[in-house]
Amino acid sequence: MKKNRISKNWLIKKHKDQFFKQSKIQGYRSRSAFKLMEMDQKFKFLYKNTNLLDLGSVPGGWSQVAAKKITKGKILAVDVKPMKKIENVDFLKGDLFDNKILKKIYAYFGKKIDVVVSDMAANTSGNKSLDSYRTGELCLKGMNLAQKILHKNGIFLSKVFMGSIFVEINKKANESFKNVIKYKPLSSRKESKEIYIYCSGIKVL
């Protein structure tokens, strides 16, 4: 009974959410599309010639935003779940940390790229601390990939949750990139511990 009540309350909040409503009106697959739009307005990293890798892309909100800005570059979206076709976006289904998938990613671009974005989050278990930690692990894995595939002025943008693993993420980011900024978009729910980490300029070790 309690679980049903929680689910009902969540649905009510969702439908009252202005960004959820706007996503439906404007044809975006998720409210998170507005987060990427806001962060691009602030940091300015999406251009017509950008080559971009979208990690954990499903349902496709971020890829939709990228496709509107990137008209001459390449966009590759990767997820373990299937994703409906988006014009000007190529999709690769599979675990992005599988060596076979990684080889396909490198082969697709054929060179170092400009931007890696990640809105990946671990499947919810009901334990917020555990979910936060697992999402942090995904961020770290995405960061490791970004270090290998980005050119020296490349950008890595990823979701993280404030929690025990954040110290490790922040340390790794500052060791790996010249500039590291923590940012919470206005479209991110106030009660959420979600923030985004924007990293630019690969440090040569």
Task: State the catalytic residues.
Answer: 159
Q: Is residue 99 a contact partner of residue 84, using CB atoms and an 8 Å limit?
A: no
H or E, element range at 27: none
What is the C-alpha separation between 120 and 73, in angstroms, rounded? 23
DSSP code string of 78-119: EESS-----TT-EEEES-TTSHHHHHHHHHHH-S-EEEEEE-
d(CA 121, CA 137): 9
CA distances from 205 to 146, 168, 175 (A): 15, 18, 9
Other Cβ atoms closer than 10 A to 94: 14
Cα–Cα distance between 24 and 31 in angstroms, integer? Answer: 8
Distances, alpha carbon 20 to alpha carbons 7, 28, 40, 188, in Å: 17, 9, 19, 11
